[in-house]
Chain A
């Protein structure tokens, strides 16, 4: 109950910034609309492809964590971490609680977008998902988000050691976009890149949640995705905990 009450307070806070959330929704939408236009112009447009990009926009909103700036720049570099270290709650959980309402708000927008397309452009969106599998899709999306969140938290902790990790963040973001199928569906990649993408965790927080919602994956494939997500989440949590316990010893809270 305590966690739910805390979560509801974070919801209150998030709803204060409804415009911010809407603006962040527009950005990937416009980006992916450009990609649909590109492939259509190249004569490769199809209902499946536009569905992929529309769902990739929505999937990105739901499963991509944007915690890195707040953690590395504001909390670690500028020292706001001081506010959390004296509180009897884990920093990881506090950031997660802080992000969940934002994701829920995005989900509301995302549902509206899907509804909009289904109503006005039914041919642009083809979802063949068996609704019996929908709970598995929700699980895949949840684990996908946790993978992204834990990875971004861990990456942000590098700010304990390095003065400026902004460039590194940008580099990693590009790698994530490519490896998670943000540019194009993974089967379109060269075989080596496909193999690498399937080994790294990024596709499991981008590409696989999207194709699971699209209805492309079989039950067995969904279970495999969930298993790989579970393994990666365990690995990332171990890395996260190791980086946190070492990094926080480097924290100097200078000027605070």
Chain B
């Protein structure tokens, strides 16, 4: 049985629409117009214990709304959710002890006190035994290198330090399921890398089920084998990252640096020239023809360097969003 299963989940919001200007305001004073926005529209999927799944979509796609439904924050319009045998919105305390929702740039710590005070509060809130608390805190503090800042007021910490402290707070009770909503947002590259390593480590060590949403494709590339692509509240793709990349990589780029200046006449016959200056050239060719074209170039020209590039995952995903086809 899946750890998490979602069946025909929908969440619709009623949105008040007002025409701009004074006339619109007067009209809306007497009669208001509402529209229904389908934030999540009939989605179904399931996730097994220990899976690390990337939830990808542009702003307003429905990612966060789905996570909010899964964590019991908001009440679904229709559909069924079962997580560890619980219906999230019932907010059974046992269920809440098994999950954690981490929202990037959102503080759940007491602002004017050191993070340690919040950790002690969470210890009581989650009823964590003393020994378990000490052990987990030690592990997390070591993993995230936080020892020096545990007793510093939260408001005096940098964004990266605070984000790491937030993560610790959300993991003290060793949740079996982790909902990570943009955990690296606003962080510099080094800190993003540290958070990623930590998430990977946590997933392995505790066999935790993790759902991650992120705008940074590096997060998804490095952490998730499986991705769910969502747009306009509907799932466009649910499967392995490799498969979607392979399926959408019909074209590859060949970048060449010639030893001597050359002409582009022959190259034009082999593929589409994206750039050419006599010494450097970039060709776009069908992936079936890559071997033949590179063989031809290497045999006919004096080449200093030749590289074959896959299109960026960002480009592929963005292509999927714009065409809404997978």
Contacts and interface: CB of A to CB of B under 8 A. Distances in A.
A208 B315 CA distance: 71
B96 A86 contact: yes
B103 A88 contact: no
Contacts, number: 61
Sorted from nearest, which 9 A-B pairs have the closest CB atoms? A88-B93, A88-B96, A249-B75, A6-B124, A9-B121, A83-B108, A5-B124, A86-B101, A85-B73
Given A6-B121, A86-B72, 18 more contacts: A5-B124, A6-B124, A9-B117, A13-B113, A13-B117, A16-B112, A82-B106, A86-B73, A86-B100, A86-B101, A88-B93, A89-B93, A248-B75, A249-B89, A251-B74, A251-B75, A252-B13, A253-B73
B97 interface: yes
A10 to B, nearest CB: 8
Interface in B93-140: 93-94, 96-97, 99-101, 103, 106, 108, 110, 112-113, 117, 120-121, 124-127
B71 interface: yes
Contacts of A83: 108
Interface in A65-98: 82-83, 85-89
B260 interface: no
A13 B109 CA distance: 12
Nearest to A10: B121
A81 B304 CA distance: 61
A86 B71 contact: yes
B113 A89 contact: no
25 contacts: A2-B124, A6-B124, A9-B117, A12-B113, A12-B117, A13-B112, A13-B113, A82-B68, A83-B108, A86-B71, A86-B100, A86-B101, A87-B96, A88-B94, A88-B127, A248-B75, A249-B75, A249-B89, A251-B74, A251-B75, A252-B74, A253-B73, A253-B74, A256-B103, A256-B106
B8 interface: no
A147 B89 CA distance: 29
B17 interface: no
B102 to A, nearest CB: 10
B125 A87 contact: yes
Contacts of A256: 103, 106
Nearest to A87: B125
A100 to B, nearest CB: 14
Please classify the interface of chain B as helix (H, G, I), strand (E, B), loop, or mixed, using the class held by over half of its residues.
mixed
B119 to A, nearest CB: 10
Contacts of B110: 13
Contacts of A252: 13, 74
Residue from the set A5, A87, A89, A253 with the largest chain B CB neighbour count within 10 Å = A87
B156 interface: no
A238 to B, nearest CB: 20
A9 B110 CA distance: 11
Contacts of B124: 2, 5-6, 9
A99 to B, nearest CB: 15
Contacts of B101: 82, 86
B272 interface: no
Contacts of B73: 82, 85-86, 251, 253
A39 to B, nearest CB: 42
A94 B71 CA distance: 19
Interface in A199-256: 248-249, 251-253, 256
Contact of B99 (A2, A13, A17, A86): A86
Nearest to A248: B75
For chain A, which range describes its interface: under 10, 10 to 19, 20 to 34, or 35 or more residues?
20 to 34
B91 interface: yes
Contacts of B72: 85-86
For chain B, which range describes its interface: under 10, 10 to 19, 20 to 34, or 35 or more residues?
20 to 34
Interface in A1-48: 2, 5-6, 9, 12-13, 16-17
Contacts of B100: 86
Nearest to B97: A88
A86 B73 CA distance: 7
A13 B108 CA distance: 14
Residue from the set B68, B73, B96, B101 with the largest chain A CB neighbour count within 10 Å = B73
A87 B93 CA distance: 8
Given A9-B121, A82-B73, A88-B93, A2 B113 contact: no
A59 to B, nearest CB: 30
A70 to B, nearest CB: 14
Interface in B67-88: 68, 71-75
Residue from the set A5, A86, A251 with the largest chain B CB neighbour count within 10 Å = A86
Contacts of A88: 93-94, 96-97, 125-127
A253 B66 CA distance: 12
Contacts of A248: 75
B37 to A, nearest CB: 11
Contacts of B13: 252
Interface in B253-298: none
A83 to B, nearest CB: 5
A16 B125 contact: no
A17 B309 CA distance: 59
A88 to B, nearest CB: 4
B106 to A, nearest CB: 7
Nearest to A84: B108
